[in-house]
Amino acid sequence: MTATLNNQLVATTSYRCTVTVGDGDEDEKAVDTKLIYAQKISVSYEITYLQEEYGMIIGESLNVRVYGGDAYSLKSSYKKSSSDNEFKNSKCELGSNSANVDENGSTTITTATTTDAQSLKCTLGFITNKDATDTEEEVVYTSTKTIIVIDKCGDGHYWNVDECTRCSGNNYKPSGDSQFEPCLSCPAGEEPNEQFTGCKNCAAGKYSTAESRCEDCAEGSYSGAVGAKECTPCEPGKHQMTAGQSSCSLCFAGTYSQGIGLASRCKDCPEGSRSDDGADKCTYCGAGKKEDNNQCISCDGLGQYSVPGSTTCSTCPDGTYVHSNKDKCVTCEAGKVPNDARTDCEACPVGTYAAPGSSVCTSCPPGTFSAKAGSEKCTKCEEGQYQDEEGQTTCNPCDANQGEYSPLEGSTSCLKCQGRLNENTCNPCPKDHEFRNNECTQCQVGEYSAEGSGSCQKVPPGTKKVKSSTLDFDYCPAGEKQPLAGQTECVPCDADKGEFQTETGQTYCKTTKPGYQLNGGDRTKEEVKCKKNSYSTGGAKKCTPCDSSKAEYTEADGSTYCNICMGLVDKDGDCGATNCEEDTVILEGVGDGKFVFEVTKVGSTATVKCEAKNTAKPDDVLTRYCSYNSATRKGEWATADSSKCSSQFTEQVEEQLAKVKEIDVTNKEETAKTVQAITDLATNATKMAPQDLSNMASTVSDIAAKFEEAETKVDATEAEGLANTVGSVAGAGEAKLASVTESEKTKMVNTVNIIAKNLDGEEAVQTETIAMQKFSKIEVAAPIELPKPKKGAKSPPKLKMRKAAVVENKEVAPSVAVFDKETAKAIFPKPTASSSSNSNTDTTESTGSKTLKVNYTIDSSIVSLEFAGTTELDIEIEIPVDTSEDSGKSGYELTRKCKFYNDSKEEWSEDGCKTVVGELSSTTGERSYTCQCTHNTSFAIILSQAEIADTIQTTASTILNTVNIIFLGLTFICIAPFKKFRARRLIQIQVQLCAALFVGHIAFIILGTTTASSKSCVPGVIIVQYLFLVAVAWSVCASVTLYEKIVNALKSFGKQDKHYFLKCLAGCWTAPLFMVIATYVTTLAMDEKTLPYVTSTGELDDEKTETCWVASPWKWVGFIIPVYLCLGINVVLFVMIARIIIKAGKSGSSTGHAREVKAIMSIATTVCLPWLVALLMTGPPTMAQIFQWIFIIVTSMQGPTMFICFVIFQEDVLTNLFSLIGKEPPQALLPAKSSKSTKSAASEISSIKPTTAAPVKKEEKSDVVQVKNPEYSTPVQQAHHSEENIYSKVDEEAPAEKDDTISRGSRGSKHLYESTSYTQHGDKGDDINPVPAVEQGETYENAAANDLDIAQNTYPHVPQLV
């Protein structure tokens, strides 16, 4: 049985407990009674500073006290039971700490070092008191109590419910106070110290109340001492514009303050006033002074004044002076002007006057006078008087005796009466008469006069007067002019020169403007435009038709020149093949998807509706430009612009763009959903319209910008989604991306770079097309692999830091974004030839052929690096490039260079980068290129793919031209330095021809290295043109000379022009110069855009080859026509020479024509043949290529041919050269001769002795050649036949005279046969003796000694050429 006592027991109580056992009668029950003592034991605790309800501070001691000992007494030790032999101590436990309880019921226990709810358990042993019971009984009592352990608060803190809180505001907590006590308030003028353990005084310039901390005194107030309870307002004249000050400042000079406190702010003094420091008001400057920089300055300038409060001095206007108070101006009265000091007025002197307010006295004008000082106006001269000077005091009378008079007042001169004078009245001569010899006489033809003029004058230009009896002249009618005066007839306008005049009385004729002609040839009508397909350059009576056979045409009426049709001119005179043919463009998802562009003219833009059925938006169209391709001679379509068309995804894209503008990127859940939605939408990029792609670019750009603005990291999922979006848009196709602006594409590039820069962590993010990574540190000189997209290059790019990147003495590492090649091509700007070039980079990978038209492409992944905070770098980036397709581009020159995208110049540049070509990998088939660069940006390997011309032709031309120049130089050197050759006319001409060709070919080679865009092109073309024209001119002189030598000299027996060479020298070097300069000057006066002087297109119209040469029509006017005119003259002369030579050959002396034939071959090869071939180079491309080769070969033969003909084949020149080294020329190089002639010539030369010439008898009608030869006894009589060629008779044999002399009669002409010799033939087997040239009337004895060359001439009857 259990009995429970309630807890209401408050003291020791004894209970009697009766227990009855059994049921039934009393006898069957057992009853037992027991006395029970119930004692209440109280266990309480206390802490040093706290009460029980606050809990216990960590680390402090707890005092436990046991109360109650009436029935039971506390024992310090006890047994749990009577059978237990071990005593236990009465103790209390608090957490892990414990303490024994003494018999007085007290103990102290320290709490643990952790803050939580801890259990206080006291286990106590009691024993019954002897007076309470008869038997001792031990009782064990356990008391359990939960104790809350709290933190110990630091200085300045108090316990606030469940935590320590620092005192705030103006409160503090003294050290040593219980943390359970509240904070105390600092008194006014003080505030808590830094530890909030006490109070300190407010500093000067501050104050506080009992409720607030120290605060700055507001503007306009101050506190001068510490511990201020309030601030003092600033007094008038002072100010304080800064809060928290200990004093107020005086207002500066030029300012003032009148209020107190905030109202005491200093204000600028009004204009015209000033103040000193600390002023409470300003003072205005007085009259005659101005305020300048807070000073009152007197107006001391000439004529200056001012009113009170002025900031400037005013100047009195002209005609006024300054009042004595200097506050106003006073106007001078009539006849007076201000004095020099502008302080008063003074009277004007005689001969002058002044109106009121005048500043100066004005001289009386001619015809007036003033006789007194201070005049207001001048007096006019009376009739019959005059005054021709100003500033006079009287007038002069007219001299009537001289016929002078003045009919009006104020005359400045006297009139000469051209008639009768009667008391100052003149009766003048009538119209068309003059006063002469004191009478009126009628004017002559071509003269006229007005009534009373008294003299006749010539009728003015533009008029005529036929008869003197007529009173008036006639104006020139329309269509006529008269620029001179006094003429009797007008000059008709010259219609043939395009002159016309539609108005009468004109002094000139108009000339039709370029593009105009006379109206039906009528010079009286206005000019009219040239009809289509005709033109005029001005001054034309009739327009010139365009030559359709040469593909010439004009676009419209009024043309000044004919265009060259790129195709064919049709029957209507329109240029054919200048249309783009019908073409269909397929754009999936855009509008109707299929767009047909009709035939469109070159230079025009075609449009097609985005949706044929949609009439609500007529401006939604595709546009496409048609341009001309000069290589194919056809029209060529540009990429269609579909930027105005929409697709089925347009609304979704616009909706996403709007959502992104409101997104909070710090909300990761919202951001993840948005990025995923955009990524999913981007998978449809190939079906989107260009405007959708632009909006998608803006969408990802906005998200990236929000990440950067919020300084929020981008996790891998977000980065991958955005990169996939960019990759999808970039893969939409070139046809659509062509309509997306470069700025939108740049947004996508920047998006990727921003994402890479803000990546969360260093793990690489890789997608199919883009890879990104952010590095925290990169070791110097240790290459690291950069991330690479999943597709594209097989090998990753690598980065090596040659030098650490440092910002503020701290190394920084980059963020990296890598774009695969196709994505890079789609969204990065296309590379072009940059404005700068690095001469240190040369990575040409093919033959060294000359490059021509170049196409630049991105040929690798693009690596975009960003080292935040620095641009000074020294890095190497190794980028792999797939070069497997190079073998299929043999017709191109391939060059790969490392370039970076320069944002400021918006171009790919190689400045600051050097390219190092690496080895070809045998495993991947890729070649590595290392970019050694010094800056942040996007790097790529740029491939320049240049079409190359057939350099075999260029190389051959250069080599052969060089050989040609060498032989021309050798020819010049072998002849020109020797005086004996310079005396011969033909050789002089040949030397000039050789020099012109020599310099011309050198200039032509140099010109070949110049392009039309070079500044040296125009002067180079002029020089080359000039030199070749000079060479052609000299060829004409050579031809004329040759003709004269062979024909004219023989027919006229030696007539020659002594100044012939000087004339050739002047004409051949100056006429071409005039022609070239005149052509160039003419081009300067024309439209340089439509008719340029030079062109960049070669003769084959090959766009791959950029040359520098004369453009049409100037090449025809200034070069081709003059060249072929000269060539025509040469051809005519050569035909005539050939006829003479052939005719001479029939006479049996064909062996004597060798030198002439050599000369003809030399000149023809040197000048004629190349330019005849050049004419055929403008034909169809295939034929032109063939004739180009022929031109190169024939031109290169000029030098060798001239060397052979002018040196090798000329015995005297060859002999002279070998004589310089003391040797004879080889017999193989000498002309072939018979043994007899050679022997005879040699023996004759050895026996030559000059003798005195004997006089020869002149015969009027005979030509006699007398040869002194021992083998002949009779002179040779050669009859002259004027109608037969001299070559037909010179070979006839005749007996010889014994006299060894030569005499020849002529018909009164005298000629020195300096280049002609004859031989007298003897009988069969006899020697041939050379006969030298002789002069008429002179006799020489064996004159061969005087002209060795002539003596050795073995070719009879033909003039020696050299």
What digits encode the pLDDT tens for the residues 81-93?
Answer: 666 777 788 888 8
801-823: per-residue pLDDT in tens? 988 888 888 888 999 999 999 99
Q: How confident is the model at residue 703 (pLDDT cuts 50, 70, 90)?
A: very high
From 240-249, 582-591, 1134-1143, 1230-1239, the region with the lowest mean pLDDT: 1230-1239
Instruction: Between 888 and 213, name the one with better pLDDT.
Output: 213
Strand partners, 519: 522
Q: What CA–CA distance (Å, rounded) separates 864 from 937?
A: 6
Please report the pLDDT score of residue 1303 as a whole number.
34
pLDDT value, residue 977: 86
Cα gap 185→200, rounded to integer Å: 12
Q: Does the pLDDT of residue 1269 top 50, yes or no?
A: no
Answer whether residue 1292 shows pLDDT above 60: no
Q: Binning pLDDT at 50, 70 and 90, where does residue 1158 land?
A: low
**Percent of the chain residues topping a pLDDT of 90:** 14
What mean pLDDT is predicted for residues 711-716? 91
What does the pLDDT read at residue 69? 65
Does the pLDDT value for residue 541 go beyond 80?
Answer: yes
The answer, yes or no, to whether residue 107 has pLDDT greater than 60, is yes
45-54, 456-465, 1134-1143 — which one is most confidently predicted on average? 456-465
**Chain-centre distance for alpha carbon 41:** 105
For 640-676, write each residue's pLDDT tens digit: 888 888 888 988 998 888 888 888 888 988 999 999 9
Residue 248 — φ and ψ, nearest 5°? -105, 150
pLDDT at 1324 over 50: no
pLDDT of residue 1102: 44
* pLDDT value at 1306 more than 60: no
Out of 249-258, 449-458, 839-848, 1296-1305, the most confident range is: 249-258
Output the pLDDT for position 684. Answer: 92
Q: Lowest-confidence range among 9-23, 967-981, 1215-1229? A: 9-23
Confidence at 949, pLDDT banded by 50, 70, 90: low
Q: What are 184-206's pLDDT values in tens digits?
A: 899 988 989 888 889 999 999 89
**Whether residue 1284 has pLDDT greater than 60:** no
At residue 820, the pLDDT reads: 93
Beta strands 368-369 and 362-363, pairing class:
unpaired
Please report which helix (H) or strand (E) contains residue 770, including its range. Answer: strand 770-774
State the chain's mean pLDDT as an integer. Answer: 77
Res 87: pLDDT = 79
Residue type for 40, please? K
Gap between the Cα atoms of 1023 and 1113, Å rounded: 18
pLDDT at 1175: 63
Compute the distance between CA of residue 449 and CA of residue 426 in angstroms, rounded to an integer. Answer: 17
Give the other-Cβ count within 10 Å of 1178's Cβ: 13
Q: Which of 516-530, 928-942, 1247-1261, 1344-1358 has the lowest mean pLDDT?
A: 1344-1358
Residue 1239 predicted with pLDDT over 50: no
Average pLDDT over residues 828-837: 71
Between 862 and 110, name the one with better pLDDT: 862
pLDDT at site 349: 93
Higher pLDDT, 15 or 311: 311
pLDDT of 710 over the 50 cut: yes
C-alpha to C-alpha distance for 897 and 940, rounded to whole angstroms: 8
Cα of first residue to Cα of last residue in the chain, in angstroms, is 168
Where is pLDDT greater, at 1345 or 337? 337
Q: Is the pLDDT of residue 1213 over 80?
A: yes
**pLDDT of amino acid 1246:** 37
pLDDT at 76: 79
**pLDDT surpassing 90 at residue 721:** yes
Nearest CA-CA partner of 210 in 182, 155, 166, 169: 169
The Cα 875–Cα 694 span in angstroms is 35
Task: List Cβ neighbours of 435 (8 Å cut-off, separation of 6 or more).
Answer: 418, 419, 429, 441, 454, 455
Place 1159 in a pLDDT band, splitting at 50, 70 and 90: low
Ranges 13-27, 863-877, 891-905: which has the least confidence = 13-27
State mean pLDDT over 1328-1344. Answer: 37
**Residue pLDDT, tens place only, 147-169:** 878 888 888 888 887 788 989 88
Tokens of 991: 């030397």
pLDDT at 369: 93
Does 538 score more than 50 pLDDT?
A: yes
Residue 681 has a pLDDT of: 92
pLDDT score recorded for residue 1273: 36
Residue 679: band (very low, low, confident or very high) from pLDDT cuts 50, 70, 90: very high
| Integer Cα distance of 844 and 929 in angstroms | 13
Instruction: Give 32-74 pLDDT, tens digit per residue.
Output: 776 666 767 777 777 655 444 557 777 777 787 777 666 777 8
Please state, in angstroms and rounded to a whole number, the distance separating the CA atoms of residues 1093 and 1080. 7
Tell me the helix, strand and coil percentages in the chain, rounded to 5: 25, 25, 50
Range in 793-802, 963-972, 1131-1140 with the lowest mean pLDDT: 1131-1140
pLDDT of the residue at 770 = 94
Q: What percent of the chain shows pLDDT beyond 70? A: 77
91-100 residue pLDDT tens: 888 877 888 8
What is the Cα–Cα distance from 738 to 749, expressed in whole angstroms? 16
Q: Do 813 and 776 touch, CB atoms closer than 8 A?
A: yes
Q: Between 840 and 1231, whose confidence is greater?
A: 1231
- What is the token pair recorded at 114? 């952790």
* Confidence (pLDDT) at 1165: 58
pLDDT value at residue 403:
77
Predicted confidence (pLDDT) per residue in 481-531, tens digit: 988 888 888 999 999 999 999 999 898 899 998 999 999 889 999 999 999
Burial tier of 398 (Cβ tally within 10 Å: 0-12, 13-18, 19+): buried
Do residues 308 and 272 touch, judged by C-beta distance below 8 A? Answer: yes
- Comparing 368 with 1091, the larger pLDDT belongs to 368
How do residues 982-1033 score in pLDDT, each as one tens digit?
777 778 887 888 888 888 888 888 887 777 667 788 888 889 889 888 888 8
Given a cut of 90, is residue 402 above it in pLDDT? no
Task: Please give the pLDDT value at position 1047.
Answer: 63
Question: In this predicted structure, what is the pLDDT of residue 3?
Answer: 57
Using DSSP bridges, classify how beta strands 138-150 and 56-57 pair: parallel, antiparallel or unpaired: parallel
pTM of the model: 0.40
Please give the pLDDT value at position 294. Answer: 86
Q: Which helix (H) or strand (E) segment is 160 a member of?
A: strand 157-160
